[in-house]
Amino acid sequence: MATGVEGLQPDRAPAAVPRRAFLLAIVSLALAPLTAGERTLPAMDRIDRLTALFHRRWACPALAQLHRDQGAKFITLVNALGASAGAMRQTIDELIDLGWVRRNPGYGHPLRPEYILTRRGERLAPACDRLDRAMRSIAVQDIALRKWSMPTLYVVGEGPTRFCRVVEALPGITDRAVSLALKDLASAEMITRRVLDGPPPGSAYGAAPPGARLLPILDAI
């Protein structure tokens, strides 16, 4: 098997779905009050959750940090993760929209965290913590936290997977984004590529050992 992915050619050209429209489709159904500060949200399948989770680079690390610290102030998240204030503000706002984080209704006391996990966030965050630690252990955070890396790895982790299957499995992704994600994952030695004689000719992708280490954690998200 070879890990290079030069000369990728999509097996077909699907219609593109606007990125913002896709994200809004996930989070914008009618929201009804639950307990203080929490809201009901439409159920997501795993692909939806992975796509939403990695839409922002700092979302998974932020959920992991909130889980470890049982809540945190905004400035603590910025400093602990090394994110810019602007990027962290966008991340927190999106995590609130997704129903995974909320402002602490008791915030004001200097020892109380500003942001805490919702009940849905509490179910998701332990897997984010494990994933964050696993990424650090194999030094792949830079590539793994890119928008489409983990959703793409999850799809090709099912077994030998053609380019067109990745496109079909990830709503909202473009051919170019698939090509970039596969190249990034291959450069980090997280996936392999095998040339197929056909018919039709093409390439099949699968998880290499470093990528395979992350798959059980992605299954828990």
CATH of 20-129, one of 3.30.1280.10, 1.10.10.10, 3.40.1280.10, 3.40.640.10: 1.10.10.10
If we measure between CA atoms, which residue out of 9, 11, 33 comes closest to residue 118? 33
Domain boundaries, the chain: 20-129
What is the full DSSP assignment across 168-182? HHSTT--HHHHHHHH
Q: Is pLDDT of 130 > 50?
A: yes
Q: Which residue has the higher pLDDT, 144 or 3?
A: 144
Question: What tens digit of pLDDT does each residue of 164-187 get?
Answer: 999 999 999 999 999 999 999 999
pTM of the model: 0.78
pLDDT on residue 44: 67
pLDDT for 81 equals: 97
User: Which residues lie below 8 Å from residue 165, measured CB to CB, with a gap of 6+?
Assistant: 155
The answer to which of 33-47, 49-63, 67-81, 138-152 has the lowest mean pLDDT is: 33-47
pLDDT of 1 > 80? The answer is no
CA distance linking residue 7 with residue 155, whole number of Å: 20
